[in-house]
């Protein structure tokens, strides 16, 4: 049985919950309490020495990082619709996983953390500025497109969705990003979609 170590408020963990649900895979959910420091406990750091969530175990396989988990699940349990094996198509999908880990993380993710949880050590204004730039690029890319890559839902969309949709929690506005908001609505209508605290948004 797959085990997913997660926190309900983590957008990165939500990516994994989303994909597991969309694939129809049963799994055990193991909550990790950040407030109690469980992510730094000796028990959890045996699973992920980085002390971060999500983490996933599947038999003898142990994985950290949401992007790596999405790739693993797509290749082992999904179809090529989610993660193409054709080199150029695969590269296009991976580029959006990189966009999630770089532009989205350094913008919307950090801004949300600063506003909602703790601004200590965070340049909130810079994160919000980066988040705004990332949304502008994303909105331009989605002009005339329904999905981020290959004209269909892929793990590229799953990787980018949570923290883009949660951008307003970091005071990064989606108001002028009509293409992004339409993409969010399409994503939330996919079979197997599951919510998390704050998503879907009432004002979407």
Domain ranges of the chain: 2-77, 87-188
**pLDDT reported for residue 113:** 93
Does the structural domain 2-77 have CATH classification 3.40.30.10? Answer: yes
**pLDDT reported for residue 204:** 56
How far is residue 54's CA from residue 27's CA, in Å, rounded to a whole number?
A: 14
Spatial CA neighbour of 168 closest among 11, 22, 14:
11
Select the CATH number that applies to the domain covering 87-188 from these four: 3.70.10.10, 1.20.1050.10, 3.30.70.1280, 3.40.50.300: 1.20.1050.10
**pLDDT reported for residue 187:** 98
**pLDDT reported for residue 63:** 97
Q: Calculate what percentage of the chain has a pLDDT beyond 70.
A: 99
Residues of the chain with pLDDT under 50: none
Within this chain, domains 2-77 and 87-188 share the same CATH topology: no
How far is residue 187's CA from residue 189's CA, in Å, rounded to a whole number?
A: 5
How far is residue 67's CA from residue 101's CA, in Å, rounded to a whole number?
A: 8
Question: What is the CA angle 197-122-162, rounded to 5?
Answer: 30
How far is residue 127's CA from residue 118's CA, in Å, rounded to a whole number?
A: 13
**pLDDT reported for residue 44:** 86
**pLDDT reported for residue 203:** 67
């Amino acid at each position: 049985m797959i085990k997913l170590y997660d926190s309900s408020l983590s957008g990165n963990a939500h990516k994994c919950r989303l994909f597991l649900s969309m694939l129809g895979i049963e799994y055990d959910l193991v909550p990790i309490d950040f407030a109690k420091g469980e992510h730094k406990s000796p028990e959890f750091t045996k699973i992920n020495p980085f002390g971060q969530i999500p983490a996933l175990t599947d038999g003898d396989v142990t994985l950290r990082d949401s992007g790596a988990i999405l790739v693993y699940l797509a290749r082992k349990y999904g179809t090529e619709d989610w993660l193409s094996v054709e080199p150029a198509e695969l590269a296009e999908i991976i580029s959006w996983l990189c966009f999630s880990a770089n532009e989205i993380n350094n913008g919307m993710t950090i801004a949300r953390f600063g506003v909602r949880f703790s601004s200590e050590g965070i340049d909130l204004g810079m994160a919000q500025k980066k988040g705004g730039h990332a949304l502008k690029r994303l909105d331009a890319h989605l002009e005339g497109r329904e999905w981020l890559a290959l004209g269909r839902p892929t793990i590229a969309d799953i990787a980018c969705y949570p923290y883009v949709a949660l951008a307003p929690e970091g005071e990064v506005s989606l108001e002028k990003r009509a293409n992004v908001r339409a993409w969010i609505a399409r994503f939330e209508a996919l079979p197997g979609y599951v919510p998390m605290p704050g998503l879907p948004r009432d004002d979407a």
